[in-house]
Chains A and B, each alone.
Chain A
Amino acid sequence: LHSITLLYFRVVLHSRKPLPSITLLYFRVVLHSRTPLHSITLLYFRVRKLQSEDEDEKEPKVVAILADPHPAYSLQRETVLQLSLQKLCSHVETALVRRVLITNTLRSIQQELSQQGALTPAWVLESSPKDSFSTALSEIEDLCPTLTVAASSTPFSTSLSVAQPDLQCSSNKNGRLSFPAVEMSEKEAQIHTGSNGPCDSAHLSSSIFLPELSLDDFLFSDIDNFLCDLNPCGPNPGLAQGSSSSKVVSMVTDDLLRSLTNQPFKTDLNELDHIMEVLVGS
């Protein structure tokens, strides 16, 4: 394991009803053609349980384990990355000057990371090294019991590709969500949150895709209209190894997005979208 990369997810749980419901877990993966097979992606979950506004946020933090030649620098870079994403996502009406400066900062970090080959989520490749991935996940398990608890209380633990926000406290009981407008292939990405033990396979749905998007699509256009306009495309031809261009894979459908008209969830959708979009590059 020569180089370990940090892939950062943020799962936001809304607990407004007795059963915490999961909001959209939304991720994209960019495939780089020259992915060295031995680079591993470490999944780093930070679970934030949003409760009512007068309660404090409970934020179990997960420490990412990095085998990194310059841990302090990487840590600062990670911090700046995280801060930048937060700023872009949370303040919708930030002044243009700030948005430009924050975006430029993000871009430079992005460039740095991609130059180091950091964003190479190997587990999406067909020949992903499953053992190391599952090892990584079990490490996460150990560090993050809350995630397990939360996951088991909402039965999405078997396989979760996308979670649907619990708008009326009724839709999430089955765990598996429907994508009415999207073809589901057999390969579904499964992020096991730990309650089921190590995950044996990390497959990514190869059928639901969105056109390649840039960071700036989100920064300078209306996020809601933009997402609603997106339509899932056909199977990703670039999923195979050796593809020369990076493709963006997404698990969100436009119908799903249209249903997310509730204000509180919109913000989180934007948050996650921004986070992932920036993280995996444009």
Chain B
Amino acid sequence: MEGDGGSEIKQWCLSQVKGAIDDDVTEADIISAVEFNHSGELLATGDRGGRIVIFQQEQESKTLAHSRGEYNVYSTFQSHEPEFDYLKSLEIEEKINKIRWLPQKNAAHFLLSTNDKTIKLWKISERDKRPEGYNLKEEDGRYKDPTSVTTLRVPVFQPMDLMVEASPRRVYANAHTYHINSISVNSDNETYLSADDLRINLWHLDFTDRSFNIVDIKPTNMEELTEVITASEFHPLQCNTFVYGSSKGSVRLCDMRAAALCDQHSKLFEEPEDPSARSFFSEIISSVSDVKFSHSGRYMMTRDYLTIKIWDLNMESQPVETYQVHEYLRSKLCSLYENDCIFDKFECCWSHDDSEVMTGSYNNFFRMFGRDGQAGVTLEASWESSSPRCPLRPWRVCAGSRRKEDEIGVDCLDFSRKILHTSWHPQDGIIAMATVNNLYIFQEKLN
């Protein structure tokens, strides 16, 4: 199917659903992070119970020529445990806030995972052989009595069932007073940043006992605090550049060559407020919940409560594109403030070729926008109303409480079902997202 502009209208199909299908879901199972690795072969999810589950894509199926491989569980491990801060009498949640993969350098895979206070570097490696035939050890590991050894042999590697091991290689602790909201690996592959509400620290992957503070917006008098850091990311190509978004809707780009402490921004991306749209909630809905560079490094995308904005890094005064995610919620802001939904932090992601962007919404809807002028489309993550290989049908949201085929009224939306965490395969038309209960994987329908 070809559109007028010559661009194909892409269709998405439900590929897989992971997780419990029933409605009974424990708090610990709620997915809090979703991230493809750099090749797309691995998909990691983190949950509120501090666990990480990694899925691996099968080699492409021989029978179904145009179908990409399915994702199956590859490794599961407990990344973070709950802790207690005795000084402040506060519990530190084990919830995984972010996962970021390191580019692969050898057979093993490395990822960084973080909760509110501590970042960990995990090595995930495969073991499919084991040495057998030791001289001094029995097969079960007990040491033999040396006097009972009469002959010598050379131990050999024998194949064994594939075992995937995850081991913590580094623990980067005690560097953040406030809650960590972002981590980002630098393009130099040696350093990474971690950002909390008021500070951003720069780490070297090899050293856990020191980190450099590169941004500090904590005022001397906490009573003067009016703005916090909400998201941060390194530029994908320039190892000296990073951005951070704030709760007031601005994004600052910093250059680490300019100064050791980047409190002075190099660029400030801020759209002037539209006075006609001002409300009590203007500041809250302008808060940047996610910031992502495009793969090309030329653009940057920010997500606030109601919109996605694409910025050209060369133009600070206004975004080059703005997409309305769920403008129909603007009249409901007071209720959303009451039930705290207005504070939900939605993520957003770029397609592999930067031609599309995607983000989540409520009622298990997600929105996809083509940057070539296509209108956005609203799709639903639902295993009940989707069948594999069948293209998803777009939804429309209308006013009031009507509900009919492909159309739903604003008043019927379920605000407890929200898609906050999304990730796009780095090379292919595959997207993964987390509803409260489940992980959904969609594939682009190949014609």
Contact = CB atoms under 8 A, between A and B. Distances in A.
Given A95-B179, A96-B197, A96-B228, A101 B334 contact: no
B276 interface: no
A83 B228 contact: no
A76 B331 CA distance: 12
Given A93-B90, A98-B343, A105 B228 contact: no
B63 to A, nearest CB: 49
A100 B337 contact: no
A169 B21 CA distance: 51
A220 B226 CA distance: 12
A173 to B, nearest CB: 36
B406 interface: no
Interface in B229-259: 230, 247
A214 B221 CA distance: 12
Interface residues of B, number: 24
Interface in A78-125: 79-80, 83, 87, 93, 95-98, 100-101, 103-105, 108-109
Contact of A100 (B90, B226, B280, B334): B226
B149 interface: no
A101 B178 contact: no
A256 B284 CA distance: 38
A80 B334 CA distance: 7
A97 B247 contact: yes
Contacts of B1: none
B222 interface: yes
B223 interface: yes
Given A77-B280, A97-B247, A83 B337 contact: yes
A217 B247 contact: no
Interface in A205-244: 214, 216-217, 219-220
Query: Which residue of B90, B178, B225 has the most chain A CB atoms within 10 A of its CB atom?
Result: B225
Contacts of B24: none
Nearest to B221: A216
Given A96-B178, A96-B197, A104 B334 contact: no
B247 A100 contact: yes
A80 B280 contact: yes
A77 B337 CA distance: 13
B415 interface: no
B283 A101 contact: yes
Contacts of A103: 226
A60 B223 CA distance: 36
A98 B343 CA distance: 7
Nearest to A100: B228
Q: Which of A83, A93, A101 gathers the greatest number of chain B CB atoms within 10 Å?
A: A101
Given A79-B334, A93-B90, A95-B179, A100 B284 contact: no
Interface string A38-55: 000000000000000000
Given A80-B337, A104-B283, A105-B283, A97 B197 contact: yes
B437 interface: no
A93 B90 CA distance: 9
Contacts of B280: 76-77, 80, 105, 108-109
Contacts of A219: 223
A103 to B, nearest CB: 8
9 residue pairs, one from A and one from B, having the closest CB atoms: A216-B223, A220-B222, A96-B197, A80-B280, A101-B284, A97-B228, A100-B228, A83-B338, A98-B343
Interface of B: 90, 178-179, 197-198, 222-228, 230, 247, 280-281, 283-284, 287, 334, 337-338, 340, 343
Given A101-B343, A216-B225, 19 more contacts: A77-B280, A80-B337, A83-B334, A83-B338, A95-B197, A96-B228, A97-B197, A97-B247, A98-B340, A100-B227, A101-B283, A101-B284, A103-B226, A104-B283, A105-B280, A105-B281, A108-B280, A108-B283, A216-B222
25 contacts: A76-B280, A76-B334, A80-B281, A80-B334, A83-B334, A83-B337, A87-B340, A95-B197, A96-B179, A96-B197, A96-B228, A97-B197, A97-B228, A97-B247, A97-B287, A97-B343, A98-B343, A100-B227, A100-B228, A101-B284, A101-B287, A101-B343, A103-B226, A216-B223, A220-B222
